[in-house]
C-alpha cells in the first residue's frame, strides 16, 4: 500500500481524511507520525498555504503529500477569519480553549450585524513529490450562517455555530456520515479522489 503524508496534526482532519480517502487504498500518515514539524503559513490565500504545507511535508518525508488549508469566511467581516480561522483569537497561554476563544471572538464581532451569512472553505493540494509540476488543487465551499448560541456536540472548530438552513441544524449536530456528505472537506476530497483516479 502506497504511503501518503497528511500535512496536518489535527486529529479531526486526520480521521475525516482517512475515511474519505479509503477508496484509494493509501496508508495515510500524519506529519506528526514522521516527526515533521508544522510548516509556516504566511500567505493570505488558502491555496497558497496548502501548497506551502504540501511542499514542506514532501521535502521532509520524501513521500507524496496532501495538505489542506481551510477556514470560515464571514461575508459581513470581509471574509474574516479566513486563513486566520484556527488562531483567530490568538491565545497566548496554550491551545486548550482555542476553539472556544475563536468562536467567542467571532460572535462578538457580529454583534448587531444582521447579515450572518458565511461559508467554510477547503483548499486541497496533492503533490507526488516536492518538485511536482502538476499539483492537484481543489477548492470548495460549504454555505451557512453564524448563530449566537452553540448547538450540537460533534465536529470541531466553528461547527457548533455554523447553521445549515437546508438541513435545519448546525454542522456540530450532523452525524459523521452527514458531515462527510455535505461539508467543504467532503466535497473537496470527493473531487480529489476523482482526479487522483485519473492521475495515478
Residues labelled as active-site residues: 69
Locate 200 and state its grid cell.
495515478
What are the beta bridge partners of residue 74? 118
Helix (H) or strand (E) holding 81: none
Locate 27 and state its grid cell.
496508508
Whole-number Å distance between alpha carbons of 35 and 178:
33
Identify the burial level of 98 via C-beta atoms within 10 angstroms of its C-beta, where 0-12 means exposed, 13-18 middle and 19 or more buried.
Answer: middle
SS3 per-residue string spanning 11-77: HHHHHHHHHHCHHHCCEEEEHHHHCCCCCCCCCCCHHHHHHHHHHHHHHHHCCCEEEEEEEEEEHHH
Amino acid at each position: 500500500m502506497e504511503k501518503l503524508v497528511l500535512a496536518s496534526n489535527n486529529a479531526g482532519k486526520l480521521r475525516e481524511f482517512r475515511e474519505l480517502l479509503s477508496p484509494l487504498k493509501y496508508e495515510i500518515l500524519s506529519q506528526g507520525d514522521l516527526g515533521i514539524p508544522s510548516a509556516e503559513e504566511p500567505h493570505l490565500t488558502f491555496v497558497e498555504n496548502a501548497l506551502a504545507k504540501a511542499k514542506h511535508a514532501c521535502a521532509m518525508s520524501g513521500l507524496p503529500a496532501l495538505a489542506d488549508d481551510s477556514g470560515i469566511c464571514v461575508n459581513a467581516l470581509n471574509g474574516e477569519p479566513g486563513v486566520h480561522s484556527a488562531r483567530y483569537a490568538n491565545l497566548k497561554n496554550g491551545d486548550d480553549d482555542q476553539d472556544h476563544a475563536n468562536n467567542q471572538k467571532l460572535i462578538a464581532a457580529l454583534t448587531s450585524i444582521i447579515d450572518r451569512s458565511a461559508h467554510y472553505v477547503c483548499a486541497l493540494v496533492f503533490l507526488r513529490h516536492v518538485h511536482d509540476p502538476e499539483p492537484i488543487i481543489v477548492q470548495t465551499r460549504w454555505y451557512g450562517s453564524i448563530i449566537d448560541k452553540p448547538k450540537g456536540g460533534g465536529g470541531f472548530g466553528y461547527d457548533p455555530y455554523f447553521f445549515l438552513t437546508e438541513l435545519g441544524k448546525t454542522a456540530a449536530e450532523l452525524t459523521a456520515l452527514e458531515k462527510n456528505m455535505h461539508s467543504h472537506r467532503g466535497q473537496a476530497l470527493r473531487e480529489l479522489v476523482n482526479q487522483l483516479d485519473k492521475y495515478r
